[in-house]
Structure 1
Amino acid sequence: MPLDPEALGRALDEKLTLHSTLCRREAGAFQQAVKTGADVVVACTQEKRLFGELGQQTEGALSPIRFVNIRETGGWSKDAKSAMPKLAALLAAARLPEPEPVATVTYKSAGRLLLIGPLEEAERFAAVVGDALDVTIFSRGGSGAQERKYPVMGGRIESLTGWLGAFQLAWSQDNPIDLDLCTRCNACVAACPEQAIGLDYQVDLQACKSHRACVKVCDVAGAIDFTREPVAHSDSFDLVLDLRRQPAFLQHAPPQGYFHLPPGQENGPKALDVVIKLRELVGEFEKPKFFAYKQKLCAHSRNEQVGCSACIDICSAEAISSDKSRQQVKVNASLCVGCGACTTVCPTGAMTYSYPRANEQGAKIRTLLSTYEKAGGAAPILLLHSQERGQVLVEELGRAARVGAAEGVPANVIPIAVWHIASIGIEVWLTAVAQGASHVALLATGEEAPQYLDALRLQMEVAQSILEGLGYEGSHFSLLQSRSGADLDQDLRLLARRRGATPKVRARHAVSAEKRTTAELTLDHLFEQAPKQPESIALPAGAPFGSVTVDKDKCTLCMSCVGACPASALQDNQLAPQLRLVEKNCVQCGLCEKTCPEKAITLEPRLLLTPERKQPRVLNEAKPYACIRCGKPFGTLKAIESMLGKLAGHSMFQGAALDRLKMCGDCRVIDIYSSENETRIHDV
């Protein structure tokens, strides 16, 4: 692994000493370093445990220790001699402060395990985990052992909901044989003349002719009772192991604490992995609260109309639901798996990712790109991959390159581990390009939900359309779908040649916590440096930028759309009957289109680049209608005439009542009051 301490030191603005056997003969140098109190970065993740323990055992150790992998990510590759800029960038990013703490979600598990499935298989798994967990079996029957070591329930499952430490099973006992009392002696099976009882110890009520011979032979155990009415039950569990073919949860990301092992996988490596995880899930656990939600920015619902439902549609854990009564969405933090896809597709930034926060992720990317360029690197490519399967593939590729079985990670490809590739979206990608990234690639490894990949492709299409419209040539975004280290090796060889044009002057702004603010700063910079200066760029449907078109013949300027707009893109004018649009605020949520009673509004996805984008633009205006009594304008001529035309034939609006529709609110009250007084005087 070729390393040039002088070149790395110049890039990092400090003098470096190379330690080639730090984890063995030179461990003393590490111990001396951690006593200084300065940040210590260990460029080896394989020996992370060793260095962590060594740091704890070193008397007087003060330094925080961080780890970064520069070996599999570039030091072991065909391009290793050219990888110094990348290695410097990785080391610089590793020195950044740790992300700020975030709120956590707590799970408590006492080890109450529900096993669902055929009795024989359930009892076999119960025997493996029964010493560590409190096991209850739910089965429709099966040829299990005669000796009952665990409680057995049987019947029809009505519902199974919840998560780790809080599962709720609703079921009804609807069969004459109580499996918990049954001793599996098979006497009932032999006694039944219709053979209505099988080895699952359930009665086929269609075949049963009511001889009740089974009841007689089961008199001692008392497990059979045909007079028993179906009884509804509800039980709580901490963990669930489902051995049925069809899982209880159909979403891509089932609740934590739920495991599904369909027939055929009971004896494979997955079964062993499940058993190990089940035994470990006893106690109290915490995970980060991955999201933050700002209801005032949410474009989901207004005036009982649903507009944007992007976060609900994409959530693979079904953790997000609609709360129309409060005109917002609800997120169940216990079900959330932290993929961040909801924050990526959210057009307004109402849903933001918290682990790490957007500004912390942006600081890391900016540090990587600026250090890479300072160290003499050219055309950097960012490779975003997951911290689990994606990290495994990258390290597998590096080790294969070490023995000459692969070429490894190219010198200009900078891997970045993220919690999930769906947690970073268009505003961060474009910012990376503005800061010098020639390409941004996302590595999908097969563990992602299909809707995530669809959403990422759409966002890439939007981002690429913007860059092409501005004249930045080349390919800037790609979604890699690699299933093995060999696949990744081939994909990265092709990726290394995908170099899109970048601005000559690098953007220096930070990624903001506000999504739209980041997007605006980035778009402004890209436009200022763009080879082309178009007035607007057409974008694909679903883009979070665009305009609103109003059919003036239909629009009555009722301003329902203004009240529905969550982003203050549509505005009225207090001085005149006007409907105006500030296009930079429009997120294309569709609430205005759905709210408009006249169906006069359509959306137009595009990116306007002229100064008018940030200024109110009149979409429709009309002559004011003056009150026939005081002359004060109180509506539009078109709206009042439309209302008069619709109500003129109604029996309640004739004569004076019809004239009152032509009055302002104050005069209408005065006229009604005056009319009532005149009627009283006339009666007297």
Structure 2
Amino acid sequence: MPLDARSGEALGAALGTQALPIASELCRREVGGYLGAIDGVDDVVVACTQEQSLFSELAAERNSVAPLRFVNIRETGGWGSDAKSALPKMAALLAAAALPQPEPVPTVSYESGGHVLVVGPAARALPWARRLADQLDVSLLLTSGSDQQMLEERTFPTFSGSQIEVDGWLGAFNVRWRQANPIDLEVCTRCNACVDVCPEGAIDLTYQIDMSKCTSHRDCVKACGAIGAISFVRDDDARDGRFDLVFDLSDAPVLRMHQPPQGYFAPGASEMAQAEAALALAQMVGEFEKPKFFAYKEKLCAHGRNGKVGCTACIDVCSAEAVSHNGNLIKVNPQLCVGCGACTTVCPSGALTYAYPRAPDNAKRFKTLLSTYFQAGGKAPALLLHGHERGAEMVSQLGRMARAGGRLRGMPARVIPVGIHHAASTGLDLWLAAIAYGATNIAILITDQEAPQYVTALEEQMAVAQSIVSGLGYRGAHFSLLRASTATGLDAGLAALAPAEAPARRAGFNGAAEKRGTLDLALDHLLKEAPQRPEQIALPAGALYGAVNVNKAACTLCMSCVGACPESALMDNANAPQLRFVEKNCVQCGLCEKTCPENAITLTPRLLLTEEARLPVVLNEAQPFHCVRCNAPFGTLQMIENMVSKLSQHGAFAGNINRIKMCADCRVVDMMENKREATITNLTRPQ
């Protein structure tokens, strides 16, 4: 890399510290400098990830207590055509690496004893069951027989079946199937008597009957005799079992979700994929932990009320099928959650938040990256958000290929790669905050490993974000999905990334714990610095901001919508029959629209930028109806007239129609008086 003592001085100045030591062989001849640095207690940041294992091992040998972190500045900037201009980016990456570690999050535990169920056709499943039997506790579920394989010693439990169902996770899989073949392999003694007597040769040495050959002679049933392993009229064919792991070798996997649960492997027909899965299976014995990636605040959830379903964004986007619901509230299964964060990205209210790391930690990281970049003299920064696995691999490959003969340009000096747990784990709040901090572009690297619903969700959220900044007059395309499956594709995508317009003055706020809080701070700053200041901005359908429209002719002010609104955006008035609305609180969940018995409500996605958004406005009001007995106001004239019109012909109400026109207190008094009069009448009536 083009670094020298002057670079160390410049980096130190940008970071507010002394000149940083620059090494060329830190892991070899200059390792003494590293060993001296870790003798203290201060944080140590090593700008080399290639030899991370070596440096960690050296620290362990010396019993170092210095917190140790690693950051890649080589492939992310030092190796590329813009390497000489990449110093501001290097300073930014070093500053972010020096940030305190985020607070720890709760963990989710798994315990596996290594009991694996191998599922599939005998030709494929039986050889793998034999290989794994030396390392794991194997059970075998055959979905078909095979002329090339045979069951020999009873080494492991063997079943056969169809209509297989699997649910659960590592250490707790429940598998159900139907005993479809007439031969029950757990009862069969493998004596070959049935094979010998079958006139069609329909029984192979996996002891399964090929029903396409069988003509129902039933000689096999007689040969099996008292063993009773063969039955063509079996009534009880339901089978089940509990397993720690599932090795599904079926042509079509039993579980079809994009991200199956941990402990479930479905490599298909590929022998290489089967070998990789078998290796992973052998390592999944013992106790394991992972972070609990999400936090849920049910009070903010806009999923449902009173059995009516509104927002289903988190359920629709989850590729692991970890999110379910009970009609009113959603439930996230932490064992199934893989930490993609897509549910938090699409959640309009912030009821679901990402916890690994938390949104305020990511906001602080973005702010540190951008402020340090500017302080070091950088201009027009772009953030490239990428996943820690395939995305990080492609970034590294790009740097190495740029170094090897200059075939590729490499990472542009203004593009700051930011590794996140998953490409879908950030959303509108953090993107707009980054623009407020001075970023000209937010690009998310989408590899060939991403679930289709993630890509769709990110596209929709970016459309909302772009509508907002474009509506405020900021020129250019600020948000983009950079789709690439190779380093070459990534290089081309980065070269086409043009700087958009950012605020002239950068924001200084910190991210809030609540999603809407961070959005409010970002929007306030973007509006304050905006080239244009419209009163409102039209947003795409499904946006998390908008208005509620009421058809006054149809609305009876029954206030069902008020009871359904989870965000207190719709309110009544204790002193008058009014329906009021605070637009800033609305998340466009649609519960009011679905709850309204008169179909009087529609939604309009938009971002209202005037003070009116924060104030209650009256959507509908009506003349109050006064109690015919005490003259106290209650309900509305329209509502009471509708009720009288509808119920006056009903036998249960026809004789007491005036009671509908009374307030609650007078209605009780009237009922008691009528009951007393009826009692007196009965007592004075001649017997």
Quickly name the TM-score band, shorter chain normalised. over 0.9
Q: Which moved more, 1:174-183 or 1:347-356?
A: 174-183
Question: Counterpart in 2 of 1:524?
Answer: 524
- Please report how far the alpha carbon of residue 157 of structure 1 lies from its aligned counterpart in structure 2 after TM superposition: 4.0
1:309-338 Cα offsets, whole Å, 9 max, x none, are 1111111011111112xx211111111111
1:105 and 2:104 equivalent?
Answer: no
Q: Distance in 1 between matches of 2:524 and 2:232?
A: 77
CA distance in structure 2 between the partners assigned to 1:11 and 1:585 by the alignment? 41
Whether 1:193 aligns to 2:199 is: yes
User: 1:477-529 CA deviation, whole Å, 9 max, x = no partner?
Assistant: 0001100011111111111xx21111111111111110011111111111111
Alpha carbons 2:151, 2:206 under 8 Å: kept: no
- Take 1:466 and 1:226, find their aligned partners in 2: how far apart are those partners? 67
1:195, distance to aligned residue in structure 2 (A):
4.4
For 2:338, the aligned partner's letter is: V
Of 404-413 and 140-149, deviating more is: 140-149
Residue 66 (1) aligns with residue 69 (2): yes
Code of the aligned partner of 1:34: I
Letter matched to residue 329 of structure 2 = Q
Q: Does residue 254 in structure 1 map to residue 260 in structure 2?
A: yes
Match for residue 450 of structure 2?
Answer: 448
Find the partner of 1:431 among 426, 430, 433: 433
Does residue 83 in structure 1 map to residue 86 in structure 2?
yes
1:483 aligns with 2:448: no
Instruction: For 1:146 and 1:257, locate their aligned partners in 2 and report how far apart those are by CA, in whole Å.
Output: 26
Query: Are residues 408 and 668 of structure 1, via their aligned partners in 2, closer, same or farther at CA, if it must alter by over 3 Å?
Result: same
1:155 aligns with 2:188: no
1:27-70 CA distance string (max 9 Å, x none): 111111111211100001111110101111125x2310000000
Q: Which runs of 5+ in 2 are unaligned?
A: none
Q: Is the 8 A contact 1:74 1:408 kept in 2?
A: yes
Structure 2 residue matching 1:423: 3-state secondary structure: coil
- Which amino acid letter does the alignment assign opposite residue 138 of structure 2? V
Question: TM-score if structure 2 supplies the norm length?
Answer: 0.95
* Other-structure match for 2:315: 312
CA contact (8 A) 1:146 1:183 kept: no
CA distance in 2, matches of 1:245, 1:591: 42
| Shift in Å, 1:190 | 5.3
1:500 alignment counterpart = 500
| 1:174/1:230 contact within 8 Å kept | no
1:488-637 to structure 2, matched below 5 A, reads 488-495=490-497, 498-637=498-637
Matches within 5 A, 1:365-376: 365-376=366-377
Structure 1 pair 663–90 and aligned structure 2 pair: CA distance change class (3 A): same
Deviation at 1:145, TM superposition (A): 3.0
Helix, strand or coil for the counterpart of 1:77? Answer: coil
Q: 2:117 aligns with which of 114, 125, 130?
A: 114
* Aligned 8 A contact 1:145 1:184 in 2: no
Deviations along 1:410-432, one digit per CA (max 9) or x if unpaired, are 00000001111111001110110
Match of 1:170, SS state, is strand
How far apart are 1:653 and its partner, in Å? Answer: 2.4
1:466 counterpart residue number: 468
* Residue 20 (1) aligns with residue 21 (2): no
| Cα distance change on mapping 1:275 and 1:672 into 2, 3 Å | same
Partner amino acid, structure 1, of 2:600:
A
Residue pair 1:141, 1:179 contacting (<8 A) in 2 also: no
Residue 679 of structure 1: aligned partner: 678
Matched, 1:297 2:306: no
Residue in 2 aligned with 1:354?
355
- Superposed displacement of residue 189, structure 1: 4.2
Q: Distance in 2 between matches of 1:546 and 1:212?
A: 71
Match among 320, 323, 335 for residue 326 of structure 2: 323
SS class of match (1:472): coil
Out of 26, 29, 34, the position equivalent to 1:30 is 34
Once the two structures are superposed, what CA deviation does each residue of 1:248-291 show, in whole Å capped at 9, x if it has no partner? 1011111110111222x0x22x2222121111100000000000
Distance 1:213 1:191 in 2: 6
Distance 1:175 1:502, change over 3 A: same
Q: CA deviation at 1:575?
A: 1.4
Structure 1 position 549, deviation (Å): 0.3
Partner of 1:92: 95
Contact 2:546/2:588 (8 A) holds in 1: yes
Do structure 1's residue 52 and structure 2's residue 51 form an aligned pair?
no
Counterparts of 1:295 and 1:366, CA distance in 2: 30
Work out the number of aligned pairs and report it: 675
In 2, the alpha carbon distance for the partners of 1:530 and 1:255 equals 46
> Which segment is superposed worse, 336-345 or 147-156?
147-156
Output the amino acid matched with 1:389: R
CA–CA separation in structure 2 for the residues paired with 1:50 and 1:591: 56
- How far has the Cα of 1:97 moved from its partner? 0.6
Corresponding residue for residue 342 of structure 2: 341
Matches within 5 A, 1:153-302: 153-180=159-186, 188-189=194-195, 191-197=197-203, 201-204=207-210, 208-215=214-221, 223-226=229-232, 229-263=235-269, 265=270, 267-268=271-272, 270-302=273-305
**Distance in structure 2 (CA, Å) of the matches to 1:151 and 1:629:** 81
Q: CA deviation at 1:200?
A: 5.6
Whether the 8 Å CA contact 1:86–1:372 is kept in 2: the answer is yes
Give the distance between the partners of 2:680 and 2:197, measured in 1 at CA. Answer: 98
Q: Secondary structure at the match of 1:533?
A: coil
Give the conservation status (yes or no) of the 8 Å contact 1:157–1:169. Answer: no
CA distance 1:380–1:191, change in 2 (3 Å): same
Give 1:405 deviation, angstroms: 2.2
How far does residue 130 in structure 1 lie from its aligned partner after superposition? Answer: 1.9
| Backbone CA RMSD of aligned residues | 1.8
Q: Shift of the alpha carbon at 1:173?
A: 2.7
Partner of 2:150: 145
Contact 2:340 2:421 in 1 (8 A): yes
Contact 1:164 1:239 in 2 (8 A): yes
Deviation of the 1:6 alpha carbon: 1.5
Q: Show the counterpart of 1:457.
A: 459
Letter in 2 for 1:557: L
Amino acid at match of 1:486: T
Aligned residue number for residue 126 of structure 1: 129
Whether contact under 8 Å (1:146, 1:185) holds in the other structure is: no
Equivalent pair of 2:151/2:205 in contact (CA under 8 Å): no
Amino acid at match of 2:255: F
- Quick one: which amino acid aligns to residue 587 of structure 1? V
Change (3 A) 1:566 1:226: closer
Mapped contact 2:164–2:254 kept (Cα < 8 A): no
Deviation of 1:172 (Å): 3.2
Deviation by residue 1:83-105 (Cα, 9 ceiling, x = unmatched): 00000000000000111110011
Matched, 1:669 2:672: no
| Cα offset, 1:183, TM superposition | 7.0
Aligned-partner residue type, residue 152 of structure 2: E
Partner SS for 1:471: coil
Contact 2:150 2:205 in 1 (8 A): no
Matched to 1:658, the amino acid is I
Deviation at 1:154, TM superposition (A): 1.2
SS at match of 2:250: coil
Kept in 2: contact 1:172–1:230 (CA 8 A): no
Unmatched segments (≥5 aa) in structure 1: none
Distance 1:438 1:210, change over 3 A: closer
